[in-house]
Structure 1
Amino acid sequence: MRLALRMWAAHFLSSMAAASDFDYLLIGGGAAGLSLAYHISQEPRLAGKRMLILEPEAKNQNDRTWSFWTDAPMLFDGIVAHEWGRIAFRSPQFEQVFELQRHRYKMIRGLDFYRHVRAVLEASPQVTWVPTAVQDLRELPNAAGVQATTPAGEFTGRYAFDSRPPQLEQLRQPQRHRYLLQHFVGWEVETDHDVFDPTTVEFMDFRGKQHHEARFMYVLPFSPRRALVEYTLFSETPLPKAEYETALRDYLRDTLGLTNYRITAEEVGAIPMTDHPLPAAQSSRIINLGTRAGRAKPSTGYAFKRIQAHSQRLAQALAATGQLPPNLTGDQWQFHLFDTLLLDIMQRQGERTHNIFAELFSRNPVERIFDFLDERTTWKENFQIMNSVTPWPFLRSIWHVLRRRPGRRALTP
């Protein structure tokens, strides 16, 4: 691997001699940085723009998967690993399997994404790669552009797009904002007989013990004998690894009746879910991307499709006007408020979460719920959504928002 990395560095550094100034610097080559670079590369009106990608790691492992629902074609449809036309919601008081009408639920594997995007970008004369970390990023005086300082040298450009993860631990203001994690352990399992329904995603299964938190099982079935089974929690702190594994074994045995299976892969993760303000830009020429720009939806953790929408918005504006859009993300304040209210309830009484989702799924078409979580609903539809859930928990959280103090769980003896 070290040899491959040295060859990669030598190949791309050799192209630097003729080009020390770029139109766009992309700081970070993960999902957000690569998505924007890909969108720019696919826009004919930006064919003459030069991009520099600064990323210290060679993305050559399947380090994650992205799942999302969509009702429209996407640039990455060709690398979708699997898709489903039905989802199941289950809780102690309500459960149902929903046939999707407009939407499909899809999954993309990280390694497929990296390979596909790298192949396209490496073949493009627009793109230069340097495998290095950015030590300093600043806007130059007099609107002259931006400068990135790295161990490999200094690089300048017209705009910089920064997708490095935000340092939330250093930014925390728990007296003002809510900080939760969506954390999980998932096993890809194989069985010797048919167990799973490959047409149906187990979207949320809340039937297990909640332990004063929001806890559910999530299952992506790839075939009758192979699936990703994931134990997911919304809470402030992760669990010891053994607790996730115990919950997974219990679910496989008690719910699916499995005692003989093979674990072929494992996923472990923790996604920040917070209403802490994550600005869309650091300055007029340094633009944030990905989690740094709040693209992981605070109340669900879903990020991939939001990253694509953000990338498309930026690329289209640059192509049309040569400038960035006045509203960089297109976010609407009312959806941020809805996220904050749900986060407040989760922080105060996480065990109520399954009741809220049970009311949503039992009283609304699933397509309306997906549109609401995509922040595409009208004011009328927003009212229908909010009118479908028990109001008291939300009214209490509105009070906390008005007094600018997050709700806290009441201490019990």
Structure 2
Amino acid sequence: MAASFEYDYLIAGGGAAGLSLAYYISQEPRLADKRVLILEPETKNRNDRTWSFWTDAPTPFDSIVAHEWGQLAFRSPGYEQVFNLTRHRYKMIRGLDFYNFVGQALADTPQIVRMQGTVETLNNTPTGITAETSAGTFTARYAFDSRPPQFQKRPDKYRYLLQHFVGWEVETSRDVFNPQTVEFMDFRGEQQREARFMYVLPFSERRALVEYTLFSAEILPKVEYEAAMRKYLGELGITDFRIEAEEVGAIPMTDHPLPPAEGRHIINLGTRAGRAKPSTGYAFKRIHAHSAHLVRALAATGHPPTNLTGDQWQFSFFDTLLLDIMQRQGEHTRNVFTELFTRNTPERLFDFLDERTSSWENLQVLNSVTPGPFLQSIAHVLRGRPGRRTTE
């Protein structure tokens, strides 16, 4: 006799990953009879973040793209270039627009129930899952867990960095910015033995999101980010501006294994499933690709796919090598990215970071950087321990 469950799918968390999966389920006619419960700790009714990504194909969310750019600038000491993007566009979506867009789609789908509550424990049973939550106990055939990952760090074996930033959306009193060009990485500032750069998304000649971003292990006092942004704006000749909004974030960048599942019936999502790319922190497009991958299998077979993420080992290895360089000699990150942009098109780099390149293309990218730092990192990987900064 088949087991009876209150729901077919329970989604723990209503952020980018949980709502992404719910959206793709709502759009799949073959899953129209599945009962879905989303448990959300809080109502998503404010613009708490933005997501940026590059793409060379239409997305389901193109109607809510706040801005897109056809040019990309890379800057470092001795090398500056503005690239015209051919296949790709760089796009930005505001968090509130995404929440509202998905919320409308789900409101039109009676099979999906949204409930405020915090998931406390998820447990596999022989045929499904049991969830203990602040809203009660629920059963389902599968659970999809998008809560932040919890693990014991192993710094003797793995690398742990953050992509951390503070950003201001500023309005200036005169025309300053080029709304056609995203300032992707501006490494011209002091590195202070870390990877530090400015990132600018201009929306008009007088309005832009300006972020001071670091790839390093420790978050700075907030005043240091703010001082760096004021210095950058001052160098652009901007002394009169208003701060219209602020963003603060810290995204994990690690090669610590993040399992795609916990047992047979609990599938991990988002950063819990390693969807933030370890070497860059970009997650939005990877989250949606993962959701689409899971839903295709659920619709075709009734079960999640055997390969839950579709990840390829060689790209995880490349991520580890770059993380090792960042941890061991963070200021050298600037040189690595300068060589990558000097010797490759952004289109090739985007394909590489999207893990879509062939073995030959991977070799071309790897051959474009000075081999010494990567060979040292390979040696550290083979010895099974991360590189450490020397005391010089």
- On whether the aligned pair clears a TM of 0.5, the verdict is yes
Select the residue among 271, 274, 279 that pairs with 1:291: 271
Counterpart Cα distance in 2 of 1:167 and 1:220: 32
The one-letter amino acid of 2:84's match is: E
Counterpart Cα distance in 2 of 1:189 and 1:135: 40
By how many angstroms is 1:20 displaced? 6.6
Counterpart Cα distance in 1 of 2:150 and 2:201: 31
Query: Could you list the per-position Cα deviations for residues 269-315 of structure 1 after superposition, in whole angstroms to 9, with x for gaps in the alignment?
Result: 10000000000000111000000000000000000000000000000
Select the residue among 337, 342, 358 that pairs with 1:362: 342
Select the residue among 183, 200, 204 that pairs with 1:223: 204
The one-letter amino acid of 2:363's match is: F
The one-letter amino acid of 1:43's match is: E
Query: Could you list the per-position Cα deviations for residues 43-86 of structure 1 after superposition, in whole angstroms to 9, with x for gaps in the alignment?
Result: 11111111000112011111100000000111111111110000
- Worse-matched range after superposition: 122-131 or 269-278: 122-131
**Deviating runs (4+, > 6 A) in structure 1?**
none
Give runs of aligned pairs for residues 344-363 of structure 1, distance below 5 A: 344-363=324-343
Counterpart Cα distance in 1 of 2:311 and 2:78: 34
Conserved? CA contact 2:12–2:119, under 8 Å: yes
1:158 correspondence with 2:141: yes
Select the residue among 331, 344, 354 that pairs with 2:311: 331
By how many angstroms is 1:320 displaced? 1.1
1:381 correspondence with 2:361: yes
1:252 correspondence with 2:233: yes
The number of residue pairs the alignment matches comes to: 389
The one-letter amino acid of 1:192's match is: S
- Worse-matched range after superposition: 292-301 or 118-127: 118-127
Give runs of aligned pairs for residues 10-25 of structure 1, distance below 5 A: 21-25=6-10
Aligned-partner SS, 1:184: strand
Counterpart Cα distance in 2 of 1:122 and 1:173: 43
Counterpart Cα distance in 2 of 1:151 and 1:251: 46
Tell me the residue number matched to 1:5: none
Conserved? CA contact 2:35–2:111, under 8 Å: yes
Select the residue among 33, 36, 39 that pairs with 2:24: 39
Report the identity percentage: 71
Give runs of aligned pairs for residues 2-401 of structure 1, distance below 5 A: 21-141=6-126, 144-168=127-151, 171-254=152-235, 256-401=236-381
Counterpart Cα distance in 1 of 2:346 and 2:173: 34
Conserved? CA contact 2:76–2:188, under 8 Å: yes
The one-letter amino acid of 2:146's match is: S
By how many angstroms is 1:151 displaced? 2.4
The one-letter amino acid of 2:117's match is: T
Aligned-partner SS, 2:319: helix
**TM score, norm. by length of structure 1:** 0.93
Counterpart Cα distance in 1 of 2:345 and 2:114: 46
Conserved? CA contact 1:71–1:104, under 8 Å: yes
Counterpart Cα distance in 1 of 2:46 and 2:356: 34
Counterpart Cα distance in 1 of 2:380 and 2:307: 28
Aligned-partner SS, 2:158: coil
By how many angstroms is 1:93 displaced? 2.5
Counterpart Cα distance in 1 of 2:149 and 2:252: 10
Conserved? CA contact 1:93–1:358, under 8 Å: no
Counterpart Cα distance in 1 of 2:228 and 2:328: 23
Tell me the residue number matched to 1:9: none
Conserved? CA contact 2:75–2:81, under 8 Å: yes
Conserved? CA contact 2:161–2:252, under 8 Å: yes
Counterpart Cα distance in 1 of 2:5 and 2:154: 40
Aligned-partner SS, 2:185: strand
Conserved? CA contact 2:5–2:141, under 8 Å: no
**TM score, norm. by length of structure 2:** 0.98
By how many angstroms is 1:118 displaced? 1.1
CA root-mean-square deviation: 1.0
By how many angstroms is 1:123 displaced? 2.4
Tell me the residue number matched to 1:11: none
By how many angstroms is 1:206 displaced? 0.1
Determine which structure has the larger helix proportion and give its number: 1
By how many angstroms is 1:129 displaced? 1.4
Gaps of 5+ in 1: 1-18
Aligned-partner SS, 2:200: strand
Conserved? CA contact 1:182–1:233, under 8 Å: yes
Counterpart Cα distance in 2 of 1:20 and 1:48: 14
Aligned-partner SS, 2:119: coil
